[in-house]
Amino acid sequence: MRPLAVHHVSVNVSEPESSIAFYTDVLGGTVRDDRPTFGFGGAWIDLGATQVHLIEAPVPPNLGQHFAILVDDLDAVVSELRSKDVDVGDPVTVGPDRQTFIVDPDGNSIELHEIGTTGGHSSSESHEDVG
């Protein structure tokens, strides 16, 4: 096998409409119109080149599972999210990169990740991503 990329990730949500609003209005995603009718609520959302599939189903407990959204300016993203009243921590350095986490309306963890920016930022501690 030779993987080409991650096509999509699936996230369980309790109320698809509030989750769609979060993933589009807050995170800048775009709802796709090609999702078939599966017999349960949800949506397919483009976040850059990868899709997030929202599935109306019981949300599992958060045990560290998450997916990451690649951003080009983590500080600007954190500032924008805070202006929208999203609870977001200060970015931390992980190797040559920086990251922080947010949660969607159902408590699903989402990492915000910026590649190779430690030249302009510093952290006194080394933080490791849980996944």
Hey, where are the domains in the chain?
A: 8-114
Query: Residue 45 is encoded by which pair of tokens?
Result: 């959302």
Q: 8-114: which CATH topology? A: 2,3-Dihydroxybiphenyl 1,2-Dioxygenase; domain 1 (3.10.180)
- Mean pLDDT for each consecutive 10-residue tract of the chain (131 residues)? 94 97 97 96 96 98 95 97 96 96 97 79 43 57
**H helices of the chain, where?**
16-21, 74-83
What pTM, to 2 d.p., does this model score? 0.86
Pairing mode of beta strands 50-56, 8-13:
parallel
pLDDT of res. 101: 97
